[in-house]
Structure 1
Amino acid sequence: MCGRFTITHPNEALAALFDAVPGNDLPVAPNFNVCPTNSVAVVTSAGGQRRLRAMRWGFIPTWYKAPNDGPLIINARADTVATKPAFRAAIRERRCIVPASGFYEWSEGDKGARLPWYFTRADGQPMALAGIWQRWGEMDTVAIVSTEAGPGMAQVHHREPVVLERTDWPLWLGEAGHGAAVLIQASAEGVMAPPFRVGVAVNSNRASGPELIRPVAA
């Protein structure tokens, strides 16, 4: 699962990394507490051209009459993304990449306390999170694909976002033919750095600033 993430890399750096043309309405970076319904930078590909575009994090199915007409959809489960009516066209035709510098996940502490952990790639590079997108009215919306947790994540939570490797980007974006379903899997051991606890300030969607990713004693 992925319910909050960070983007500390500048938009120009992301555009260069993904060889994408940047839009002129991208959200301001850095953001140490990207929350659902925020505008996020997303990589799409069409006609041999990649673009870095702004989208609303919160996938809106075509039949919603308003953005809040049903549940807020920020993740799409790997086991149902190809069959659920909300997602099945998007997973075939509108796959994308959501760049993230890291993401948060929560474990349960004493008396139900929510204890936040921070995850990054071991190599320090931005994460390329697998996503699907949907146009709703005049707005593009996105969800992050999640799967069963792998070895780098299972100690904290039972699900994790699908993290794509650089060699997988063309297949996920539809540039290298069919067969992207094989990429929907947990990260291999060693891809993610050991997670560390951060302060509970990030439990609030109003919190901001680099201190949110400062390690604290577990």
Structure 2
Amino acid sequence: MCGRMAMTLPHDAMAQLFNAAPANDLPEVPNYNVCPTVPVAAVTSGEEGRRYRPVRWGFIPHWYTKPNGGPLLINARAETIAEKPAFKAACRERRCIIPAAGFYEWERPEDGSKLPWFVQRSDGAPLAMAAIWQDWGELGSTAVIVTTSANNAMGKIHHRIPVILEADQWAKWLGEEGKGAATLMTATGEDTLTFHRVDTAVNSNRAQGPELIDPLDV
């Protein structure tokens, strides 16, 4: 799954990378501890072309009468996303990409502790996480990250992982190249990601600073 991430990359560079027009109200970066319910930057595509714009991380189904009218939806399972009433319309019509420097995952040993790891691409490129979005009332656009079963490497930490898109898959996921997006919702290759332990300071959603992603000597 993905419950926390780091967005440290300049917005102008991300807009250029994804060939998207940047909005004027993008969330402040760097942010080394991005938590659910806050705005994140996302790439969407429509008649006006690609846009790089803010969305609220935390998808709100259209039937919620208030933002907290049901469970907080920050991840959606790839295996059932096309069937779930909350997600199926957005999965067909409103797919997006959420770029990040990396995300955090927690290992939970038998002693009950929470040991955080920072996960990023092995090649140093930004992560392009598959997501879907929809508008909801005064909050505007809300989004959820798509997850799938972890590959063998990541499975040692957690059994779920965000769907990571390669550059040649972006257009298909965004709906610019017809159908076939479902074929992209699979675990990434074993060598695509690297991860290292980080300090438990990140267990607090109030923690900030670049030291949060520094490798921890263990």
Letter in 2 for 1:183: L
Q: Equivalences for 1:56-67 in 2 at 5 Å?
A: 56-67=56-67
**SS where residue 215 of structure 2 aligns?**
coil
Q: Aligned-pair RMSD on alpha carbons? A: 0.9
Partner of 1:37: 37
Q: Equivalences for 1:59-138 in 2 at 5 Å?
A: 59-109=59-109, 111-138=111-138
Deviations 1:61-115 (A, max 9, x none): 0000000000000000111100000000000000000001000000013520000
Measured in 1, the distance between the counterparts of 2:113 and 2:211 equals 20
Measured in 2, the distance between the counterparts of 1:48 and 1:159 equals 34
Measured in 2, the distance between the counterparts of 1:107 and 1:8 equals 24
Deviations 1:116-159 (A, max 9, x none): 00100011000000000011014100000000001331111000
Letter in 1 for 2:159: H
Partner of 2:152: 151
Measured in 2, the distance between the counterparts of 1:153 and 1:25 equals 34
Measured in 2, the distance between the counterparts of 1:110 and 1:215 equals 23
**SS where residue 6 of structure 2 aligns?**
strand
Deviations 1:21-47 (A, max 9, x none): 000000011000000001100000012
TM-score normalized by the length of structure 2: 0.98
The 8 Å contact of residues 152 and 187 in structure 1, kept in 2 or not, is answered as: no
Partner of 2:180: 179
**SS where residue 172 of structure 2 aligns?**
helix
Measured in 2, the distance between the counterparts of 1:189 and 1:197 equals 18
Partner of 1:22: 22
Gaps of 5+ in 2: none
Partner of 1:170: 171
Measured in 2, the distance between the counterparts of 1:112 and 1:129 equals 29
Question: 1:48, CA displacement in angstroms?
Answer: 5.8
TM-score normalized by the length of structure 1: 0.98
**SS where residue 68 of structure 1 aligns?**
coil
Letter in 2 for 1:118: F
Letter in 2 for 1:205: N
**SS where residue 120 of structure 1 aligns?**
strand
Gaps of 5+ in 1: none
The 8 Å contact of residues 26 and 40 in structure 1, kept in 2 or not, is answered as: yes
Aligned-residue sequence identity (percent) comes to 58
